[in-house]
Amino acid sequence: MRTKDGRRRDRRGWLLAIVFCLVLGGSLGATAMLKDPAPRRIPPGETPGSTAGETPAATDREFAEGPAVGGARSALPDTGFKFIDTGFENASPLWYEPAEDGAILVHLIYDHERSSKNRAAGHIHFRLHAKAGSRQTLEFKNLDNVWNGQPGSVARELKALVVSADGREWRSVPTQALPENRIRLSIEMPGPQLFIARVEPYRISDLDSLLTRIRRSRQVKITTIGETVEGRLLEIVRIGNPRAPFQVFVRARAHPWESGGNWVVEGLVDRLLAGDAESKRYLRRYCVHILPMANKDGVALGRTRFNLRGRDLNRNWDQPADSELAPENAALERWLEGMIRAGHKPDLALELHNDGNGMLHISRPPVPRLAEHLRRMETFEALLRKRTWFTEGSTKESFRNSGTLGDGWLERFDVDALVHEFNCNWIAGLQTAPLARHWKEYGANLALVLEEYFR
């Protein structure tokens, strides 16, 4: 039975709904609602719907069914922005929200290192949907990475992004740095969709295309050496004759955001398989063994740095690999030990990365023949400067980054190993922002560098 008091509560509820509708810009729905219970003036000090213990019926309906006025409550300011799509291979996990000035705040999601303060965000790869011709402003949040236990915002390294209408043809665009490590991108939409990425993406499907393309070459042997945490196969791509006088090892993509290394590998592989007089000369002198995508799970899922068990695959090389936490590194270590047993220890190992500097990381662990190692690294750097666009230089004498592949392989296996970073924002030697074609060109010239290095 309806009491007088109950009716009053109903009216309060209706009133609450009306206030919501009016405040939020609804007029159509509000008019319809006015037809039934008459509005009641709210006595001073009373809040609509505040009657203790009960939720007014109309308010229940409001929350259950959404606003009475279609979409008004949830509509964005009319900037033409529609959606950020991350539902595809290698897209970066994120969430977003509108800022008051119409920008879209893009919150990147960190990935974390196990038993460590370290965390990383910085992989950017998504598809922006917005009205063609509209200008969109995106602000990137969660750039406060922790690296080697120290806070290290990635904002200062986020000077450029790449954009593409079709996900294949990319161009570089500068970002805008604001105080407090804020980074914005302002871009006019050339069509209804635009891919935006940190560096020109290289996906597992791109690697699969490469492997399909080269698999039948007489110079190529592809061997599975193990699996990632999620069971993706890890391949070593061997180019050339394993009995060649010198053996080179190259690894790319320990850190999933750093796709530059994969483009370098493509350039190197294509140059070595060109079938011309030079490539035949190169392959008489050396054989290359490549682990092209060390952190395939991270690449698939659009992670930034760590593997799925929270391990950094370019750390912990100062000790035997943990097959449980880092099966990717354990597989590689087994392969390396097999090569050493077979008398094919790599004469040079290159660990390819991207950062904001692009230097060679020459580590100096306390090994017996460090001086000879450093002299060989000087030779290698001089050849890079001579034969490629490399000008960035190498780390100074005090540099030591324990546990990297470069440091660990030198210390534990006496392999001339180094980390080669590629600046993701700028190629000083070409005075241009890097795209895949620049890194492929570098990889092609690396083939000549290696031949001269082993002369």
Binding status of residue 353 toward Zn ion by CB under 5 A: yes
Q: How far is the CB of 258 from Zn ion (least distance, A)?
A: 5
- Letters for 362-381 (x = contact with Zn ion by CB under 5 A, - = none) are --------------------
Give the interface segment with Zn ion, choosing from 68-76, 225-233, 281-289, 348-356 (CB under 5 A).
348-356
Nearer to Zn ion, 164 or 354 (CB): 354
Q: Which of 270, 274, 269, 252 is nearest to 261 (CA)?
A: 252
**Which residues make Cβ contacts (< 8 Å) with residue 208, sequence separation at least 6?**
none
Nearer to Zn ion, 246 or 257 (CB): 257
Q: Rounded to whole angstroms, what are the CA distances from 44 to 23, 37, 41, 48?
A: 19, 21, 9, 11
Q: Which of 159, 255, 315, 361 binds Zn ion (CB under 5 A)?
A: 255
> Reduced to 3 states, what is the DSSP secondary structure of residue 207?
helix
Give the interface segment with Zn ion, choosing from 16-24, 214-222, 252-260, 293-301 (CB under 5 A).
252-260
Q: Is the separation of the CB atoms in 183 and 155 below 8 Å?
A: yes
Within 13 A of 190's CA, how many CA atoms are on the CB side? Answer: 10
Q: Which of 290, 255, 311, 248 is nearest to 454 (CA)?
A: 248
Q: How far is the CB of 123 from Zn ion (least distance, A)?
A: 11
Q: How far is the CB of 361 from Zn ion (least distance, A)?
A: 10
Q: For the chain, first and last CA: distance in Å? A: 100
Neighbours of 232 (CB within 10 A): 17
Q: How far is the CB of 408 from Zn ion (least distance, A)?
A: 15
Give the interface segment with Zn ion, choosing from 187-195, 347-355, 364-372, 400-408 (CB under 5 A).
347-355
> Reduced to 3 states, what is the DSSP secondary structure of residue 289?
strand
Q: State the number of binding residues for Zn ion (CB under 5 A).
A: 3
CA dist 438 and 174 (Å) reads 18
Nearer to Zn ion, 48 or 292 (CB): 292
Give the interface segment with Zn ion, choosing from 143-151, 249-257, 336-344, 374-382 (CB under 5 A).
249-257
Q: How far is the CB of 333 from Zn ion (least distance, A)?
A: 19
Give the interface segment with Zn ion, choosing from 127-135, 183-191, 255-263, 392-400 (CB under 5 A).
255-263
Residue keyed to tokens 């030079």:
278
- Which residues here bind Zn ion, judged by CB under 5 A? 255, 258, 353
